[in-house]
Amino acid sequence: MSKHRSMPETRHTKGHASETDLYLRDINSYTGSEKYYNVLGIYVTDGVKYIMDNGYSWFVTDAIAVIRAKLKNEGFLTVALKNQSDMATMEITDGNGHVFYRQEYKWSDAKRNLTLFYADNILMLSGEY
């Protein structure tokens, strides 16, 4: 059985069609947030919305589900996506090496590693902290 890779998703924003950027080429332009978005009861920043809009919503919603179910009362968390070829691992830690949760994905189209921070009910890119 061969693996089938789909073509990049096309999305429409403000009247323009654009392809999903799994490499997240504009991620470093997010150093703060002008708006917060409520996703499953947790607020996300402009930068996290950017990664969600570009093919990583599965990662963000998985992280939010774990935080809401098990870790919402923690003061600070790091959420890391570690890309390994066609697989990936998500780890949620206290920022000092203590792993609260680890999820392995047997298949992923992720193209880069990501680190998010969670504090004060807000999930943000590390550059937005």
> For the segment 51-67, what is each residue's pLDDT rounded down to a tens digit?
999 999 999 999 999 99
Residue 30 within any structural domain of the chain: yes
Specify whether the CB–CB gap between 48 and 36 falls below 8 A: no
Q: Which range marks the domain in which residue 16 is found?
A: 10-128
Residue 73 within any structural domain of the chain: yes
Residue 109 within any structural domain of the chain: yes
Residue 5 within any structural domain of the chain: no
Number of domains, the chain: 1
Look up the pTM and report it: 0.81
Q: Is the pLDDT of residue 13 over 70?
A: no
Give pLDDT tens digits for 27-84.
999 998 999 999 999 999 999 999 999 999 999 999 999 999 999 899 999 999 999 8
Residue 2 within any structural domain of the chain: no
Question: What CATH number is associated with residue 89?
Answer: 3.10.450
Residue 4 within any structural domain of the chain: no
Which residue, among 26, 69, 21, 61, has the nearest Cα to 44 in the 3D structure?
61
Residue 82 within any structural domain of the chain: yes
